[in-house]
Each structure stands twice: as C-alpha cells, then as structure tokens.
C-alpha cells in the first residue's frame, strides 16, 4: 500500500476524527525487509469503537440519532413551534423536552456500548510482547507499537500480537503448535513450521536474527484465515512461503517454549481484524411494516391537518362579517383564504404532533433488549450437556423468531453431535463391524481409545492370520499414515490433535488395532508402532484436504525406499481417479458402502499408488514450482496434485457414525407441525441423506420422495418436469436434490421450477452441497418469496454465508468452532433449543411487540383526536386545549412504562404449553396480529373511543354549568379529557394483559398517580397557568365523578367485549387444533415401531434402497463442507 494513503490516515487520527482507510482489496501486494520496520504503514493499534473520544461522540452520535426519520420529524416540529405565525406554544419549542429525553436515552445506550468497546480496545492495545528492534534495547513493548518488519519473540502460552512469519522456534524440528480458539473456536492444536529452506535460522542467535536482512514479498491484506502466499529472498535464493509458515494474531502458542517471528500484517490489516467486519443490520418484518404504517399515519396527519386548515378558511370566509367583536383587520390572514389555509395547516400539524408516537422507537428498543435478557436467562434455552447459555446478539429480531416460514439447517454438528465413532469397514470383498462379538474382557486388552465403537472379532482373527502383511495390514497402515494429526505427550500419555473428529476416529481405530502413530521424528519421518515393531516412513509431501479437492493424500517413503501415495476421500471423488478394479471386488465394496450409507454412516474410500522414483522426481519438480509461484499458487498446486493422484489402487472403505443430538426428531416434527418448512442442507450422498431424513423425522412414509440428481443439463430439465407432474398429483411430497443437480438447476430459467416443486413439498433435503450452494439456496427462497421469513442454523465456518444470507441466523457453539456462532443473530448450544426459541420466545415476542406498536398508535389517537372533534364546535380554528406540560408528559410518563412492562413480562401461555402446541405458532406466520386490518382496527378503535370521551366531556362541561351557572373552562375541560385518555390507555393494558405482575400493577397505578400529581401541581401551584384552579373546578363536584364513570365505563366495556371475544375465538380454535394434534400423535405412536437400539446388521436385513421403517435414530455425514 502506498505511503500517501497511510499518511492521510495518520493525519485524520491526529485530529481525532473518523478513520478513513482504503479497502483491503484496493491495497498493493507487500514487500518488506526483516528488521526494517516500515513507518509509513500504521502501527498495530486496533480500534473497534465508533468514537475516539467524548468530543467526537457528541456530534457524530447526534448525526446518527437524526438519521432516524422519527427524530427528524420531531426536530422539524420543534422548528415549526418557533415560527410565531403558526406556533401554538408562544414560540417555545416544547417538543424539544420529550425529544431530548428520547435522544439522550439512545445516546446513553450508544455511549455505554462504545465505552465497553473502547475499554476492550485499550486492554488489547496495551498488552505486552518482546520487541527486538535495530538500534534499540530489546524490551517489553505494547502491542500497539509493532510495525511490519519488526522482529518479536513470543513465549509459551502467550497470544500472538500480529500476523507473523515464523523465523525460529525452540522445537528442534522447527515446529510451533498453536491454538486457534480465538479465531475459529477450535481447541485442537495446529502445527506451524519454519520453511525447510530457512531451517538454518534455527541455529542462529537473537543478534544474528536481528542483523538478518531478508526481503519478504507477499500478498495484500485479505480476510482468508487459511491462505498466505509469499516468498522470501535470502542469499539470492527465492524461497516460497505458505500458510504453514504463517501464524495469525490472536492464536496462542502451545507446547514450545518460544518462537521468533517477523510482523507481516498488523493492526486492522491482520486477518482476525479483517474477519471482524460488522454484519449488516437486519430489521424484522414487524419493523419494516411499522415504518410503512408510520408513513401512512404521517400522510393521514398531513391530510387531516390540511382539511382542518381548509375548513377553517372556508368557515372564516363565511363568518368573518359576524366576528366584529374579534377586531379582525382586513389585512389579517383570516381574510386571505390561501394564507389562512397554510397558517392553520401549520397550526394543526403542531396540534397533531403526537399523531406519530414519540416514545415508540425507544420503547421498542428497550423492550427487545430486556426480551433478549429473558431469552438468555431462560433455563429452557440453556444447554446443560454443553454448559452453554443462549446468546442474543441481535435482539431487534426477537419477534422475527415468531414469524419463521423456512428453516435451513446444516447437518453435521447441527443435527448431529459431530462426535464421530468408527463403526464399519470393507476390505478385500469382506465387511466388518456389523456384529459385536468381542467380549468386554477382550476389548479391555486392546488399546483404550476414544471415537471407536467396533467389536467385530472376525476382523481381529483375519488380521492375526497374516501379521504385518496382506489387505488388512495395508488398510491399517493407510489409516495410520494418511492424515494430518499432531501428537502431544502429556503426563506420559500420547494424545492426538486432529483437524476434524472423523480424522481422529480413523487414526484411533488404527491405534485400537495395534497400529499406533507416534508422531514425527527429527528427520520428519512418521513413526508407526505396529504391535511393538517401530516403522519409520519418511514424509515427503502432504496434499491437504479442501472443499474443492474433497480428499487428502500423503506421499511417504518406507524403509525399503519404496515411495507410496496414500489417498482417502469420498467415493464419488476417488472413483474417477482409480485404475480398473476387479469387477467382483468393486461390486462388493460399493454394495458395502451403500449398505453403510443406507443406515446413515459416513463413508470414505482408501487407496494407494506405488510411485516409481522417476515419476515421483518429475512430479515433485513441477509441484515445487507450483508451490513457489507468487500468482495463482493455490490453483497451480491443485492442478499438480491432481496429476499425481491418478491410477489409484483400492484398499478398502470405512464407515463412521455420528449420533443425532438430543430431541432433534421431535423438534423437527414440532416445527413442521407449526407450519414451518424445514430444509436440510448436507454434504451427504443421497442414500445417507434420505436415511438421516427419516432418523430426524424430516421424512416419513406418507411423503412421496421426488429425487433430482445428475450432471447433464437436459437430464435435469427432464427430471424437474417429471417432478412438477408428480408433485401436482400428490399434496404430500419431499424433494431430495443433489449438489450437482443444483449447479444446473440454479440457472434462472430452472430455479423457478425448483421453487415450484419445493413449494409443494413438506420437506427438502439438498445433498452434497458446498458452502456457496447453501447460501444460494437461501437466497433463492428469499428472492422468489420476498414476504416469507427465513432462518438458517449451522455450527461451522462453512455455514457462515448461509447464516448471514437468511433473515435470522442461528449459530450452534459446537465442535467445529465459533465462527458460525459469532456471525449469527442468536447462538445456542443445541438444535433442540430452536423449538423453544421460536415457538415460545419468538411467538410471544411477536405477540407482545405487535401489541406494543398498535397500542402506541391507539393511545395517541385518544390524545390527539379530541382536539379535532372539539374543532367541529369552533370552526376548526386550531385551538389547543391541553396544558403543554401535561400534553408532553403523556407519552413520556403517563403511558410509556406500563406497556413496556407488559411487553417484557406478559405471558399468554406458558413455555411448555406453546412448545407442545405448535398450532398456536401460526399467529406469526399468518401475520394475524400485525397487518393492515389489525392496524386499522386499533386506529379506528382509538378514533371511536376518542369520540366517545370527547362527546361526553364536552356535553358535560362545555354545554352546561358546573355550579352557579358557570362553566368549567376550556383548559379544565382539556385537562379532564387528557385525564380520561390516561385512564383509558392504562385500563386498555389491563384488558389485553394475560398476567398481572407486581411491576405491571405498580406501573399502571404509578402512571395514573403521576398524572394526578402533575395535574394538581399545575392547577394549584402555578397561578399563571391557564389551568389554574382546574382541580377545584373538577374534583370538587359530583358531575366530574359521574361523567368519569360514564366515559371510562362506556369505553372500557366496549373494549372488554371486543378483547374477550377475540381471546375466546382464538382459544376455542387452539383447543380444537390441540385435540387434533394429540390425536395425530397418538395415531403416529400406534403405528411407529420401536427404534433399534443396537447396531447389528447383516446383508439380508439391509435393502439396497433406503430403509423406510425402524430407524436407529443415528445420522452421519458423508463430506464436511
């Protein structure tokens, strides 16, 4: 990156304003010299806070606050209140009081959140590391001081302060073991090493390392955690560098005493910071709809105010001649129709200020925040098995959880535990593992390992017949060599650190059988202990797994100098790479693999190739050239790897199981019963995926399976047409589609057909899909059905794109790390929690938040519209009869707290009732509580009740005397109407509440008490107020109490009747649906056979096609994407 851009950044920071940096993709590739810190590049300081100080917070946050339309609206009202021609407040911007309170509450919340971020930033920036810099004494320096090119020393168990190139390690082999938990949540150790052509640096002193001037060229900053391409030039030799030589900021050094490294990326250019991009804010359907309703209300306000101005101007033109007692001059606006129209229009706008509720947004924010706290504290959302509380990371989507139409779920680690156990194998036309014939005593004599559930005595008998040779020996040798497992000796015990649970299961099975991988020795040889006989295999190359290759290979040289390539991967990937196989062997192996898949096991093929020395040398030369390439290195390496992974010989196949998580099946069934469509997106082969669908109750015998698979576009077109016909003739369908078919089916003209079929299906299973395809599937549904709500749930980094693409993202804090949880809106411990999260918390949040929004508009109708009804009696002259203090306190103090407490604590049904009666969830899916009709009902209801209150009050106080022929006065009448509005608003909450906690009761009575207190204060203690003595003119006369009883009674009885009618109707329907649900459950249990609890199979009991009944309840994955 050019220094000019960085200088600009430093200048901006100097003045404490917003930091401006070019995006990473616009920077240049880097070239640095070791031990020559580049001062043109920013230091290692990181900033995640939005504001650098209180000085910048106030102006910048004010800009943010007034980017909200509601706040802009009230600011415009404040300006209008200062225009004397239209002001109804004597030119005083009285709305600024409530607006200031609302804005201050939001600013305080923002400041507290940002202050916490700044504290975290400061703690990070002031961490200490050992800095060795030319012309300086080596010292403990703050992280923030580091520059690219600096040499640093990191001790064991310390965090890495910046992205560094490994130069030296205390390990004689040049290895460094790191924990990446802070980056991806994974706790297994990763092995990094010094580039083999830099091993001479191992022997050098600290001073020699400091004197070294090595030019390092590498790619521009990027967010890819597992990618680094560069080269080092030393003694005129170009040395390729890869991510194996590169350690990232945030990692923790383990198992070695120290390392030295050169800083390559620092500060906001480090990969962990480039992966800390703030997710785009999501808004719920309720919020989006609410914003439209606010616009509609605003337009209605403008119309009514314009109408009021028009009617007043017309009235003035008619009656001006009769108003001589008002001393209206011919030059006054009252004689100018147009001028008077606009002035009165402005007057009415100011009177109608609270038509848009000023407290709505802040009330909704507060409610959602506390609802999120309740979700976290709920024991029903706590995973006791993993000791994980549900984390709410985006509480503004609480009600969206109650309106989910589609759920897209990953499988491995989401539906399953991602705890792999080795179960079965097939070698040389014979399969093992289907029967448990070893006794406990015999098992106790074998190596005690985890992740293995294998008790087939026939395997051990066959293995012992040909010790050290034969197909089974080759099979176990492949398992003990073809992997990337790291060994660790802890308390005299050999421990394995594997990159995935299935990798650990395979290596542990070899160890279980007496083939123990003991690690790499000083000469980079893989040491395998075969029942006491130590064998060394020189490790030449590891061709690692990625989601494109879908296989892993190692090239080793045995003690007889024979070079062997071992490869393992999915059968669909390995088969095209194999040399011709004896037909009987291939048929038996493939049948065994299908058998394993049909009961839900994860299958792999093991192969090998003996490499002639000349072939290997020729390939290695081209491969090293590919590894040294600066541009397009990854693709060149994969092309070279593919050239050697040919003509593979079949060794055998493996099968691993992964049990479903607790209550996955019932959870999916309840979600389906609630009306939610569940799609499972998995890397499994079709047979495995279908079986898993049955295991987790996604599929059942009543559903017609529509399978779409193939690689040819015309074939896919034909299958989609057939699927459309089949789905038309049956209303109970399930679609199973492969990743290969999806590549073709995602074309615009075909994707519509896929959606047409999917809409007729109760369940969809997508097999062998890549992470990108998962995102595309979610986007496909959102694009074709814009009014539905989607939820995506997953546990791994491969699910992040899918999670962010959905309306709601749920991450599982699982074995695969925390990246999915960090990118999500809600993070849970287990899949089953999704049922309570949606059916209870989501449904209740939707119900209460809908009521809160509707209520805010309703109560403001009660406040504002009496002035419009009164205008019928005064020619729409835009006279306000409310005291400004009481008027502005209405939304802030008299009616705000009770509805907030209601929306936090009210409960229509308990969590157990709602989670066991999924039919009650449909209020959200069908938008029953927040739609145009419901909104109009609340608005019209408020309008009618405002009319009732106005009519009764005006007739009692303005049309007749209260004592000695004297009337109460306009301001007294206004105060009484406002009091009735306060009472009516709070009684309304009592009517639609389902529970009455002490807090809600105190809030209700407290709000009314505050009104009475202010009313008395203004009336009796403020003699200059227009309301002076209003308390005496009202509370001291029986007419006040009779009118109050009549007005409040009439509106409350009317409201109560409507509310109870609606509740009774909803309850009656729920009871009927609940009874039907119980009957359906009883019928299903009657016909459901007992699940198998033992894993015992034989060829005659397992059909070639997927099993339809009697599932084991297990589910496994074919490929991990």
Residues 472-490: tens digit of each pLDDT: 999 999 999 999 898 888 7
The single-letter DSSP state of residue 202 is G
H or E stretch at 142: strand 139-142
Q: Is 503 annotated as a binding residue?
A: yes
Give pLDDT tens digits for 826-869.
999 999 999 999 999 999 999 999 999 999 999 999 999 999 98
Residue 642 has pLDDT above 60, yes or no: yes
* Helix/strand/coil for 655: strand
DSSP class per residue in 781-835: HHHH-TTS-EEEEE-SGGGHHHHHHSSEEEEE-BTTBSHHHHHSSEEESSTTHHH
Structure confidence at residue 1067 (pLDDT): 54
Q: Does domain 421-657 have CATH number 2.40.30.60?
A: no
Both structure tokens of 1102: 């397992």
What residue spans in the chain does CATH classification 3.40.1110.10 cover?
421-657
Q: Where are the extended beta strands (E) located within 463-588?
A: 486-490, 493-497, 515-520, 525-530, 533-543, 551-557, 563-569
Percent of the chain with pLDDT over 70: 89
User: Rounded to 5 degrees, what are φ and ψ at 530?
Assistant: -100, 90
Contact 2, 29 (CB under 8 A): no
* Helix/strand/coil for 15: coil
DSSP class per residue in 550-564: -EEEEEEE-TT--EE
User: Rounded to 5 degrees, what are φ and ψ at 473?
Assistant: -60, -45
Residue 418 has pLDDT above 90, yes or no: no
Residue 17 has pLDDT above 60, yes or no: no
Q: How confident is the model at residue 1083 (pLDDT cuts 50, 70, 90)?
A: very low
Q: Is 334 annotated as a binding residue?
A: no
Q: Is 412 annotated as a binding residue?
A: yes
Q: Is 683 annotated as a binding residue?
A: yes
User: For residues 398 and 382, what is the distance between their CA atoms, to the nearest angstrom?
Assistant: 17
Residue 8 has pLDDT above 70, yes or no: no
Q: Is 799 annotated as a binding residue?
A: yes
* Helix/strand/coil for 133: coil
Give pLDDT tens digits for 287-322.
999 989 999 999 999 999 999 999 988 988 887 777
Contacts 24+ apart (CB under 8 A), 73-79: 73/298, 73/356, 74/98, 74/99, 74/353, 74/356, 74/358, 75/99, 77/349, 77/350, 77/353
Which residues lie below 8 Å from residue 953, measured CB to CB, with a gap of 6+? 866, 973, 976, 977, 980, 1043, 1047
Q: Is the model more confident about 956 or about 558?
A: 558
- Give Cα 3 distance to the centre of its chain: 38
Q: How confident is the model at residue 796 (pLDDT cuts 50, 70, 90)?
A: confident
Contact 849, 900 (CB under 8 A): no
Give pLDDT tens digits for 708-733.
988 888 999 999 999 999 888 887 89
Structure confidence at residue 963 (pLDDT): 54
What residue spans in the chain does CATH classification 3.40.50.1000 cover?
376-416+662-838
Contact 633, 392 (CB under 8 A): no
Structure confidence at residue 88 (pLDDT): 86
* Active site members: 410
Q: Is 774 annotated as a binding residue?
A: yes
Distance between first and last Cα of the chain: 34
Average pLDDT of span 174-194: 79
The single-letter DSSP state of residue 841 is I
* Helix/strand/coil for 480: helix
User: Rounded to 5 degrees, what are φ and ψ at 234?
Assistant: -145, 130
Give domain 376-416+662-838's CATH architecture. Answer: 3-Layer(aba) Sandwich (3.40)
User: For 291-313, b where at least 16 C-beta lie within 10 A, e where not — what string?
Assistant: eebbeebbeebeebbbebbbbbb
Give pLDDT tens digits for 59-94.
988 998 888 888 888 999 999 999 988 888 888 898
The residue among 150, 130, 147 whose CA lies nearest residue 139 is 130
User: For residues 781 and 784, what is the distance between their CA atoms, to the nearest angstrom?
Assistant: 5
Residue 109 has pLDDT above 90, yes or no: no
Structure confidence at residue 1065 (pLDDT): 60
Both structure tokens of 65: 């606050």
Which residues lie below 8 Å from residue 490, measured CB to CB, with a gap of 6+? none
Using alpha carbons only, give the angle 172, 527, 260 rounded to the nearest 5 degrees: 20
For the whole model, what pTM was predicted?
0.78
Give pLDDT tens digits for 540-572.
999 988 767 889 999 999 999 999 999 999 888
Contact 556, 624 (CB under 8 A): no
User: For residues 168 and 215, what is the distance between their CA atoms, to the nearest angstrom?
Assistant: 17
* Helix/strand/coil for 426: strand
Q: What share of the chain is helix, strand, coil (3-state, %, to 5)?
A: 50, 15, 30
Highest mean pLDDT among 837-851, 965-979, 997-1011, 1089-1103: 837-851
Q: Is the model more confident about 94 or about 1118?
A: 94
Q: Is 682 annotated as a binding residue?
A: yes
Q: Please, where are the H alpha helices in 126-254?
A: 181-184, 206-211
Average pLDDT of span 117-126: 87
Which residues lie below 8 Å from residue 5, measured CB to CB, with a gap of 6+? 21, 22
Q: Is 410 annotated as a binding residue?
A: yes
User: For residues 79 and 951, what is the distance between their CA atoms, to the nearest angstrom?
Assistant: 33
Q: Is 411 annotated as a binding residue?
A: yes
Give pLDDT tens digits for 202-245.
889 999 999 999 999 998 898 887 788 888 998 888 888 988 89
Contact 692, 722 (CB under 8 A): no
In DSSP terms, which residues pair with 259 in a beta bridge?
154, 169
Residue 368 has pLDDT above 50, yes or no: yes
Structure confidence at residue 917 (pLDDT): 94
Average pLDDT of span 419-425: 91
H or E stretch at 13: helix 3-14
Contact 187, 251 (CB under 8 A): no
- Classify residue 576 as exposed, middle or buried by CB count within 10 Å of its CB (0-12, 13-18, 19+): exposed
Lowest mean pLDDT among 351-355, 478-482, 807-811: 351-355
Q: Is 29 annotated as a binding residue?
A: no
Q: Is 188 annotated as a binding residue?
A: no
Give pLDDT tens digits for 1021-1059.
887 777 777 777 677 778 888 888 999 888 888 887 776
CA atoms within 13 A on the CB side of 574: 27
Residue with tokens 């209140």: 81
Q: How confident is the model at residue 119 (pLDDT cuts 50, 70, 90)?
A: confident
Using alpha carbons only, give the angle 488, 492, 496 rounded to the nearest 5 degrees: 25
Q: Is 673 annotated as a binding residue?
A: no
User: For residues 485 and 499, what is the distance between their CA atoms, to the nearest angstrom?
Assistant: 7
Q: How confident is the model at residue 1121 (pLDDT cuts 50, 70, 90)?
A: very low
DSSP class per residue in 612-636: PHHHHHHHHHHHHHHHH-SSSHHHH
- Classify residue 725 as exposed, middle or buried by CB count within 10 Å of its CB (0-12, 13-18, 19+): exposed
Residue 1077 has pLDDT above 50, yes or no: no
Radius of gyration of the chain from its Cα atoms, rounded to whole angstroms: 37
Residue 13 has pLDDT above 60, yes or no: no
Residue 19 has pLDDT above 90, yes or no: no
Average pLDDT of span 354-361: 85
Q: Is 199 annotated as a binding residue?
A: no
Structure confidence at residue 276 (pLDDT): 67
Q: How confident is the model at residue 175 (pLDDT cuts 50, 70, 90)?
A: confident
Which residues lie below 8 Å from residue 189, measured CB to CB, with a gap of 6+? 177, 178, 179, 254, 255, 486, 488, 497
Structure confidence at residue 1109 (pLDDT): 30
């Amino acid at each position: 990156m050019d220094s000019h851009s960085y200088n600009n950044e430093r200048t901006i920071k100097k003045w404490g304003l917003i930091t401006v940096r070019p995006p990473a993709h616009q920077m240049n590739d880097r070239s640095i010299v070791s031990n020559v810190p580049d001062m043109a590049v920013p230091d290692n300081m990181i900033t995640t806070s939005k504001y650098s100080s209180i000085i910048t917070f106030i102006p910048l946050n004010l800009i943010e606050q007034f980017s909200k339309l509601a706040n802009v609206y009230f600011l415009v009202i404040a300006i209008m209140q200062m225009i004397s021609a239209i002001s109804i407040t004597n030119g005083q911007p009285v709305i600024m009081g409530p607006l200031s309170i609302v804005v201050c509450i939001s600013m305080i919340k923002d400041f507290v959140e940002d202050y916490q971020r700044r504290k975290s930033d400061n703690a990070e920036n002031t961490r200490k590391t050992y800095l060795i810099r030319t012309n300086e004494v080596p010292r403990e320096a703050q992280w923030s001081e580091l520059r690219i090119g600096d040499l640093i020393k990191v001790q064991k168990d310390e965090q890495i302060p910046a992205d560094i190139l490994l130069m030296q390690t205390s390990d004689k082999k040049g290895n460094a073991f790191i924990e990446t938990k802070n980056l991806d949540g994974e706790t297994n150790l990763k092995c990094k090493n010094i580039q083999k052509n830099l091993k001479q640096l191992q022997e050098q002193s600290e001073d020699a390392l400091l004197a070294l001037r090595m030019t390092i060229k590498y790619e521009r900053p990027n967010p890819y955690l597992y990618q680094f391409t560069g080269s080092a030039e030393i003694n005129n030799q170009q040395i390729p560098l890869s991510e194996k030589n590169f350690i990232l900021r945030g990692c923790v050094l383990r198992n070695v005493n120290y390392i030295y490294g050169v800083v390559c990326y620092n500060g906001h250019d480090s990969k962990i910071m480039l992966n800390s991009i703030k997710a785009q804010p999501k808004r719920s359907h309720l919020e989006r709809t609410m914003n439209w309703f606010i616009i509609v209300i605003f337009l209605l306000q403008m119309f009514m105010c314009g109408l009021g101005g028009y009617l007043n101007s017309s009235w003035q033109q008619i009656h001006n001649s009769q108003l001589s007692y008002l001393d209206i001059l011919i030059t006054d606006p009252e004689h100018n129709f147009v001028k008077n129209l606009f002035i009165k229009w402005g007057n009415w706008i100011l009177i109608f200020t609270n038509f848009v509720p000023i407290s709505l947004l802040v009330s909704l924010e507060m409610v959602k925040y506390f609802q999120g706290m309740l979700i976290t504290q709920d024991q029903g959302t706590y995973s006791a098995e993993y000791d994980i509380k549900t984390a709410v990371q985006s509480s503004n989507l609480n009600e969206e959880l109650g309106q989910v139409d589609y759920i897209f779920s990953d499988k491995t680690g989401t539906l399953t535990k991602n705890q792999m156990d080795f179960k079965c194998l097939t070698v040389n036309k014979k399969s093992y593992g289907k029967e448990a014939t070893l006794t406990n005593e015999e098992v106790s004599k074998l190596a005690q390992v985890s992740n293995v559930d294998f008790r087939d005595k026939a395997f051990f008998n066959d293995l012992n017949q040909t010790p050290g040779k034969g197909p089974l020996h080759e099979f176990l040798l492949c398992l003990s060599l073809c992997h990337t497992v790291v060994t660790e000796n802890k308390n005299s015990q050999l421990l394995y650190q594997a990159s995935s649970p299935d990798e650990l299961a395979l290596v542990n099975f070899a160890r279980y059988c007496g083939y123990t991988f003991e690690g790499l020795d000083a000469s980079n040889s893989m040491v395998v202990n075969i029942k006491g006989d130590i064998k060394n295999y020189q490790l030449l190359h590891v061709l690692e797994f990625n989601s494109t290759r879908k296989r892993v290979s190692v090239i080793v040289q045995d003690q007889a100098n024979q070079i062997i390539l071992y490869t393992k991967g999915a059968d669909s990937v390995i088969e095209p790479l194999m040399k011709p196989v004896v037909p009987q062997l291939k048929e038996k192996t493939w049948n065994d693999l299908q058998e394993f898949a049909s009961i839900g096991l994860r299958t792999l093929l093991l192969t090998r190739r003996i490499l002639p020395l000349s072939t290997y040398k020729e390939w290695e030369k081209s491969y090293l050239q590919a590894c040294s390439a600066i541009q397009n290195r990854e693709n060149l390496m994969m092309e070279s790897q593919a050239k050697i992974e040919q003509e593979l010989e079949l060794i055998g196949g493996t099968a691993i199981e992964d049990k479903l998580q607790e209550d996955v099946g019932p959870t999916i069934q309840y979600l389906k019963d609630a009306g939610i469509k569940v799609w499972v997106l998995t890397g499994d082969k079709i047979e495995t995926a279908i079986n898993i669908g049955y295991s987790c109750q996604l599929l059942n015998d009543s559903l017609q399976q529509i399978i779409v698979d193939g690689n040819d576009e015309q074939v896919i077109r034909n299958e989609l047409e057939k699927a459309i016909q089949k789905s038309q003739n049956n209303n109970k369908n399930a679609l199973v589609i492969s990743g290969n078919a999806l590549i073709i089916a995602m074309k615009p003209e075909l994707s519509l057909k896929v959606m047409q079929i999917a809409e007729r299906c109760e369940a969809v299973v997508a097999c062998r899909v890549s992470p990108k395809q998962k995102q595309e599937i979610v986007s496909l549904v959102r694009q074709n059905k814009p009014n539905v709500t989607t939820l995506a749930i997953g546990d791994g980094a491969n699910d992040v794109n899918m999670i962010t693409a959905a309306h709601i993202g749920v991450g599982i804090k699982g074995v695969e790390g925390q990246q999915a949880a960090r990118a999500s809106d809600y993070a849970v411990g287990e899949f089953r929690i999704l049922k309570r999260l949606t059916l209870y918390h989501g449904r209740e949040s939707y119900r209460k938040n809908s009521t809160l929004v509707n209520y805010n508009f309703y109560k403001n109708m009660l406040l504002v519209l009496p002035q419009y009804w009164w205008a019928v009696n005064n020619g729409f002259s835009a006279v306000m009869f409310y005291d400004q203090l009481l008027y502005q306190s209405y939304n802030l103090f008299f009616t705000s707290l009770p509805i907030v407490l209601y929306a936090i604590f009210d409960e229509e049904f308990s969590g157990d009732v709602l989670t066991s009666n999924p039919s009650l969830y449909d209020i959200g899916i069908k938008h029953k509580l927040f739609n145009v009709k419901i909104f109009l009902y609340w608005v019209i209801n408020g309008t009618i009740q405002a009319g009732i209150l106005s009519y009764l009050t005006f007739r009692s106080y303005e049309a007749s005397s209260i004592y000695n022929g004297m009337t109460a006065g306009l301001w007294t009448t206004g105060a009484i109407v406002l009091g009735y509005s306060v009472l009516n608003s709070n009684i309304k909450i009592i009517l639609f509440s389902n529970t009455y906690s002490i807090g809600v009761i105190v809030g209700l009575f407290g709000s009314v008490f505050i009104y009475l207190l202010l009313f008395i204060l203004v009336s009796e203690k403020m003699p200059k107020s227009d309301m002076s003595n209003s308390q005496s003119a009202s509370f001291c006369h029986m007419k006040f109490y009779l009118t109050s009883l009549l007005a409040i009674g009439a509106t409350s009885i009317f409201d109560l009747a409507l509310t109870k009618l609606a509740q009774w109707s909803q309850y009656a329907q729920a009871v009927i649906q609940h009874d039907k649900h119980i009957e359906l459950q009883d019928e299903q249990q009657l016909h459901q056979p007992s699940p198998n609890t033992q894993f015992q199979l034989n060829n005659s009991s397992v059909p070639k096609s997927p099993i339809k009944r009697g599932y084991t309840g297990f589910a496994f994955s074919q490929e991990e994407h």
